Structure 1
Amino acid sequence: MEYIKEFFIAYETYFQVFISAILGFLIGWDRSSKHKPAGLKTYTYVAVACTLITIVSIRSVESFSNPLIGTRMDPMRLAAQIVSGLGFLGAGVILKDGLQVKGLTSASMIFFVGGVGIGIGAGFYGIVIFATLITFVLTKIGLIFEKQNISNINISLRKKAK
């Protein structure tokens, strides 16, 4: 049992990147299956990049901070900058066509997958996996409601047309 614990500690960073890549891939897979502009590769890259930036941010504090000479560092400073970059990336997938706006879900999912990467990079596996699963399940349920609502609207429009 001690060997497993030592192995996990030694390779935790690799495990973080792996988990992040898998979760980003699954979220991207959902978007690709719906033929959305941001898909498998986009979400995988965003999740892994956010994980790497978070790991570097946290580990750099451990490596470069020296309280004896007054050098202090904020471990989440780099990770906080991710949010700005995700906003920029998300804005790029939002398209306006007349009165119709498209890409809001893709933009929000890019923001979400960034949170997945930051959370995994910071070592919060349980809550990130739970958040990914619950979000996935609820969006699938939401899709059923949306389809049902669209069907009801189409039926009522047909009745009015007669």
Structure 2
Amino acid sequence: MAWSNDYLHILIRLVLAGLMGGIIGLEREVNNHPAGLRTNILVSLGSALIMLLSIYGFQDYYNAGDNMRLDPQRLPAQVVSGIGFLGAGTILRHGFTVTGLTTAATIWVVSGIGLAIGAGFYLGGILTTLFVLISLMILAKLDTLVIKKRQLVEIRVNVIDTPGKLAEIASIFGQRKINVKGVTMHDEDKESGEPPCVSINFLVRMPKNENIPLVIDTIKQIQGVKEVHYGKNNE
């Protein structure tokens, strides 16, 4: 009977859900990502428990009368939407760079795996776990070795605030085929007797074989440039 309270099945589903979440979480833990082993196990177990609750938790009410209507899909539906708040906590922004999107997506998928196993859809949950591992491990290496992503670099230029400096720096980027992804500017604190200065922050995408120190030295040669700092960041 579909609604029989089979304790062995409940145990198997919870253990399997925890195992699937743990396998994915271990990969995240080994690679030093925010949501690791414990987080993914808890997400998968919690999702499986809520699915089991929606299936087995209200059996006494099914024969309560014609006026009693129950929908076992409502609780799992809240997991799908509610897990987004947990995933959002792993997304961080550093300047122009956003990190944690893959971790947030992983948490969302792990919750789906837990729901599937909690509902007894073992094959779907196990196959999804396998595909997630392929995506996180094998495709990540393929992305590094074959696609060879170009570098994102943040360059901060402190320059005397005179007209045309932004255009001069941008022309250097254009000559070297460096793609500017974003620009922000803010005034620097001026010391007594010093000319006003501005800090210009560029997020640029460097071609694979570009010599970054050479680009920085070229910018430093612009009249009025006081300091140039940069930091690498891969997409």
Residue 126 of structure 2 is aligned with which of 120, 129, 135?
Answer: 129
Residue 157 of structure 1 is aligned with which of 189, 208, 232?
Answer: 208
For structure 1, which segment, 137-146 or 115-124, has the greater mean C-alpha deviation from structure 2 after superposition? 137-146
Residue 108 of structure 1 is aligned with which of 105, 109, 112?
Answer: 105
Residue 62 of structure 2 is aligned with which of 65, 82, 90?
Answer: 65
Taking the aligned partners of 1:76 and 1:152, their CA distance within structure 2 comes to: 42
- Larger Rg belongs to: 2
Structure with greater strand percent: 2
Structure with greater helix percent: 1
Query: What TM-score, normalized by structure 2, do the two folds share?
Result: 0.60
Are the equivalent residues in 2 in contact too, given 1:61–1:74 (CA < 8 A)? no
* Percent identical residues: 36
2:27 aligned partner = 30
2:50 aligned partner = 53
Q: Tell whether 2:139 aligns with 1:88.
A: no
Taking the aligned partners of 1:97 and 1:149, their CA distance within structure 2 comes to: 27
Q: Which runs of no fewer than 5 residues in structure 1 stay unpaired?
A: 1-8
Q: Tell whether 2:96 aligns with 1:99.
A: yes
Mapping of residues 4-15 of structure 1, within 5 Å: 9-15=6-12
1:139 aligned partner = 136
Query: What TM-score, normalized by structure 1, do the two folds share?
Result: 0.85
Structure 1 position 135, deviation (Å): 2.4
Taking the aligned partners of 1:63 and 1:139, their CA distance within structure 2 comes to: 43
> Which structure ranks higher in relative contact order (CA pairs < 8 Å, sequence separation ≥ 6)?
1
Taking the aligned partners of 1:153 and 1:95, their CA distance within structure 2 comes to: 21
